[in-house]
Structure 1
Amino acid sequence: MSAATLDTPRTAAPRVNPPPRNPVGSVLTVVAWIVGVLFVLPVLWMALTSFHSEADAATNPPSLFAPLTLDGYANFFGAQTGASPWPPLLNSLTASVLSTALVLVLAIPAAYALSIRPVRKWTDVLFFFLSTKMLPVVAGLLPVYLIAQSIGMLDNIWLLIILYTSMNLPIAVWMMRSFLAEVPVEVLEAASIDGCSLPRTLRTVVVPMVLPGIAATSLICFIFSWNELLFARVLTATTAQTAPVFLTGFVTSQGLFLATVCAASVVVSLPVLIAGFAAQDKLVQGLSLGAIK
């Protein structure tokens, strides 16, 4: 290395100024935080009230620093009445899981036919599915009740499974079609050239590629089934009673037991929260699939 090279001063890298802060983005961030806190605050207040006694929960204004107790949870699990919440919880779990599984079994082939291998007038088919959600649930309650009574299906968990499947199927078809529309046709053509049948193509090629969309669809169907109250309230009595129906039993003619109701609400909400946290990454991927090209 020559002396001229050693004496040559090194030029400093140009300093890159950070981009100017966008005031609109900062305002939107603050607004988003405020909205998020407003949505979460009632849930946190419900959880806190569930650890108060009935006397402290009924004070006006509510007492924030009241002594904590587990009496509300003890009452929910039958400490005073002896009524166990486990049969209704198991009924809700059974109806939600089985109906969601049936919805996926029916929705994935239907969405495949409407997106990758479109049938004739597929737009009319999609709008027909959507039109079934335009009828208010209460409008079909009496016919469903009379049919269930005539065939001896009242207070039967399988009736709820069939109803929840039919209620969630249109939404699942619409969601799965948007996810399946993102599958490259070349991949399916390659599978067809390799000799894969349609069921095998769906099972080994399509389903793994749209797994985030399946997770998002199944979670939404599970939540809708778990939270459904109207059909379960009218069509069940004791054998097929679900958790939301059991929850309404704490509102009696003697009054509203606020701490017990809050404790029951927390317990009934836990399965949905656990499922949401367990499938959080898949849910975000599924709901954002196709949003960015």
Structure 2
Amino acid sequence: MTATAAVGRPAAVRPAKARRNRENRNRSLLGLLAWLCGLVFFLPFAWMVLTSLHSESSAATNPPSLGASLTLQGYREFFGATTGVSPWPPLINSLTASIGSTVLVLLLAIPAAYALSIKPVRKWTDVMFFFLSTKMLPVVAGLLPLYLIAKYAGMLDDIWLLVILYTSMNLPIAVWMMRSFLAEVPKEIMEAAAIDGAGLLVTLRRIVAPVAAPGIAATALIAFIFSWNELLYAEVLTGVVAGTAPVFLTSFVTSQGLFLAKVCAAAVCISLPVLIAGFAAQDKLVQGLSLGAVK
């Protein structure tokens, strides 16, 4: 019996070793594929940065010259060194609209998601469908009514109009995301808080918010990105006072032509706040977006 076991052990080890080798090979292939996908998504931004460091004559060549001399002329023109036009008012307007609307979205989405997940209301699926249905209307279809409302309300070219619009634009997505995150909060914690006499605000602030922090960070980052990148509302409903960074970016496309190096320099500078926010919250973003994906 011992001899049989000794003889049979190598035969049992070989399939396990082959399986581990196959798993390692598959893992390596998946890692290589992930790197390739990352490079595919990163190359356009890298190309934009490289183009922004070229002169207009070098940037306009076809195919572009990789060995051309580098210059910061495009960035100097973006910051108004030669034109005298400062980009800071549009950037501040974008920060005001994006941060203000993101804060309002979280203040409204977290209680709504709490009511739809932890303390579910009656027919909560109908409520979720109503939130989703508000995103089915094309943005351009509601542009004329919004313009007329803003005109008669005296809010044209007002940054607070964009705060309200961006809040309404991002709120349905935030409610859907926060509901999935809050559904993962253990019910036992909520019951213990109720036994201790914690009210709704205390429960949300001291129990729900720390547990769902990754989801809140992911929701806030997505709402901030959507608000920062929005162009159509800002282009139509604002002017000189409340113009945002994307609107300022379109001003570089003039009747004289497309100055590619200057446009790329402006695009890099305007993209930096979103990139910095994403990099700073990348661990929370990944954790939040994957919350509940694996049971």
TM-score (norm 1): 0.92
Aligned residue number for residue 36 of structure 1: 38
Match of residue 286 from structure 2: 284
What does the per-residue CA deviation read over 1:128-149, in whole Å, with 9 as the maximum and x for residues that have no partner? 0000001110000000001000
Shift in Å at residue 65 of structure 1? 1.1
> 1 CA distance for matches of 2:99 and 2:123?
32
Give the distance between the partners of 2:94 and 2:177, measured in 1 at CA: 24
Distance 2:33 2:198 in 1: 52
Aligned residue in 2 for 1:4 = none
**1:35 CA displacement:** 2.4
Superimposed CA distance per residue, residues 95-125 of structure 1 (whole angstroms, 9 cap, x where no aligned partner): 0001000000000000000001011110000
Greater displacement, 191-200 / 28-37: 28-37
Tell me the number of residue pairs that the alignment of Structure 1 and Structure 2 aligns: 280
Match in the other structure for 1:226: 228
Tell me the distance in 1 between the aligned counterparts of 2:262 and 2:247. Answer: 15
Q: Any stretches of 5+ residues in structure 2 without a counterpart?
A: 1-12
What are the superposed Cα offsets for residues 7-56 of structure 1, whole Å, 9 maximum, x if unpaired? xxxxxxx9994712345554444333322212111110000111111111
Larger helix share, 1 or 2: 2
Cα deviation code 1:54-89 (max 9, x no counterpart): 111001110001101000000101122211000000
**Equivalent in the alignment of 1:105:** 107
Report the 3-state secondary structure (helix = DSSP H, G, I; strand = E; otherwise coil) of the residue aligned with 2:22: coil
Give the corresponding residue for 1:20.
21
What is the one-letter code of the residue matched to 2:68? A
CA distance in 2, matches of 1:91, 1:180: 32
Q: For the residues of structure 1 that align with 2:40 and 2:206, how far apart are their CA atoms?
A: 44
What is the match of residue 177 of structure 2?
A: 175
Deviates more, 1:101-110 or 1:36-45: 36-45
Once the two structures are TM-superposed, the CA of residue 291 in structure 1 deviates from its matched residue by 1.4
Which one of the candidate residues 72, 75, 78 is aligned to 1:76?
Answer: 78
Deviations 1:248-271 (A, max 9, x none): 000000000100000000000000
The counterpart of 2:161, out of the listed 159, 162, 166, is 159
Q: Which amino acid aligns with 1:284?
A: V
Q: What SS is found at the alignment partner of 1:202? A: helix
CA RMSD for the aligned pairs? Answer: 1.5
What is the rounded CA distance, in whole Å, between the counterparts of 2:17 and 2:34 in structure 1? 28
Q: Report the 3-state secondary structure (helix = DSSP H, G, I; strand = E; otherwise coil) of the residue aligned with 1:21.
A: helix
Aligned position for 2:258: 256
User: Which letter does structure 2 place at the counterpart of 1:255?
Assistant: G
Q: For the residues of structure 1 that align with 2:67 and 2:196, how far apart are their CA atoms?
A: 68
Match of 1:93 in 2: 95
Distance 1:33 1:279 in 2: 21
Q: Could you state the TM-score of these two structures normalised by the residue count of structure 2?
A: 0.92
Q: Which amino acid in the other structure matches residue 237 of structure 1? A: G
Aligned residues: percent identity? 74
Match of 2:196 in 1: 194
CA distance in 2, matches of 1:162, 1:197: 29
Deviates more, 1:218-227 or 1:30-39: 30-39
